[in-house]
Amino acid sequence: MNPKFLNQLGLAMRAGKLVTGDEGVFKAIRSGEAKLVIMAEDASANTRKKFQDKCQYYGVTLMEVGSKYELGRSIGKEMRVTIGVLDGGFAQMLQKSQVNPAEVEHIDQ
């Protein structure tokens, strides 16, 4: 798991730009507040399907990252399966920190 991503997630939590828990995240998705949804890679198949469908329907980006314990620890809580990011700036920052530079192709000019 990328430590930079976890640090930025903790920063977003301290800034009050995250919502956690299934119902809180669903509410943020439906209201249009959620700019990004982060789901643990070890989420149950049922939870994974519900969030994939909801995010696709409402046009919210969904990232599957880390374990429930890693996500929870990064925001100073017990394990967390889903986290909603309410700020566009934090959402972009978190998405960029997950890009592995080795995966980016070299462009010749």
* 59-75 confidence digits (pLDDT tens): 999 999 999 999 999 99
- pLDDT over threshold 60, residue 103: no
In this prediction the pTM is 0.87
CA-closest candidate to residue 24, choices 45, 54, 59, 4: 54
Enclosing H/E stretch for 61: strand 61-64
